[in-house]
Amino acid sequence: MYNACMSTQKTTEQNEAWIAPSILAADFARLGEEVENVLDAGADIIHFDVMDNHYVPNLSIGPLVLESLTRHLSNRPGKALMDVHLMVKPVDRLIGDFLDAGADFITFHPEATEHIHRSLTLVKEGGAKAGLVFNPATSLEYLDHVMELVDMILIMSVNPGFGGQAFIPASLNKLADARAIIDASGRDIRLEIDGGIKTENIAQAALAGADTFVAGSAIFGSADYAHTITAMRRQLQHN
Ligand code: DX5
Ligand code: ZN
């Protein structure tokens, strides 16, 4: 079980915390406005969930929507970072499309590609940051031979496919394990948690080593995005 002594695995070099609203929970009829609203409310990066009704039992949005969003946001000062979470199989065919559409991070599930090293390389050669996503029952051993290509590790705290599911507590142990792997590597790798994150449990995830926090329903389902993001950040400051 996760316990308090694991907090010693959190190092002083840990990246600053990023809050990443998942637009899966946004109002798609007003998507551009919704994304602007969460950015104005203090979001650090936008989490863009891509589901294909094959790797996961749901269908969401693709590169055309990302391209429209990137264009819509281009008049804002500073680049709005786009964190593309691919829940698709196969993976490689879509990487180029998402690079062209403006992805800054592209993460995918190792089980969904035949050649993990090749897929990571495609992302990096395209100029984006690359990451692997681990389902609740997927082993971190997939990292063993590709750490030099990884810029982000995403730990799923729900089974992928739907927003609004309950946080799986065992993912805290997995976060702590991933944090130890990152620290041992000495590399600058973001550790992201995705699924069921709310103001009430975000501090636990941070204590276990996460530095990037996806939240869909907790933010877009709230009446005041700035209030919710500020409340989450306040929880993180107490760590
Ligand atoms: C699940 C997605 C998540 C999801 C998060 O497959 O990858 O990003 O949208 O939504 P909440 O925060 O509502 O669990
Ligand atoms: Zn996601």
Mean pLDDT of the chain: 95
Taking the C-alpha atoms of residue 116 and residue 122, their distance in angstroms, rounded to an integer, is 10
What is the atom index within ligand 1 of the atom nearest the CA of 157? 14
Number of domains in the chain: 1
Cβ < 5 A residues, ion ligand 2: 49, 85, 194
Domain, as residue range, for 143: 15-237
DSSP strand pairing (190-194 vs 129-134): unpaired
Measured in angstroms, how far is the CA atom of residue 47 from the centroid of ligand 2?
A: 6
DSSP strand pairing (18-21 vs 46-51): unpaired
Check if the beta carbon of residue 34 is closer than 8 Å to that of residue 26: yes
In a domain, 76, yes or no: yes
> In the structure, what pLDDT confidence band is assigned to residue 8 with cuts at 50, 70 and 90?
very low
Measured in angstroms, how far is the CA atom of residue 198 from the centroid of ligand 1?
A: 11
Pocket of ligand 1 (CB under 6 A): 22, 24-25, 47, 49, 85, 158, 160-165, 194-197, 214-218
Nearest ligand by distance to the CA of 163: 1
pLDDT, mean of residues 5-28: 77
pLDDT of amino acid 4: 41
194 in catalytic set: yes
In a domain, 22, yes or no: yes
In a domain, 62, yes or no: yes
- Find the CATH number of the domain harbouring 69: 3.20.20.70
> In the structure, what pLDDT confidence band is assigned to residue 13 with cuts at 50, 70 and 90?
low
pLDDT of amino acid 238: 74
49 in catalytic set: yes
**Residue 7 confidence (pLDDT) above 90:** no
In a domain, 121, yes or no: yes
147 or 4: whose pLDDT is higher?
147
Q: What percent of the chain has pLDDT over 90?
A: 93
Q: List, for residues 156-214, the tens digit of each pLDDT value.
A: 999 999 999 999 999 999 999 999 999 999 999 999 999 999 999 999 999 999 999 99
In a domain, 223, yes or no: yes
> In the structure, what pLDDT confidence band is assigned to residue 14 with cuts at 50, 70 and 90?
confident
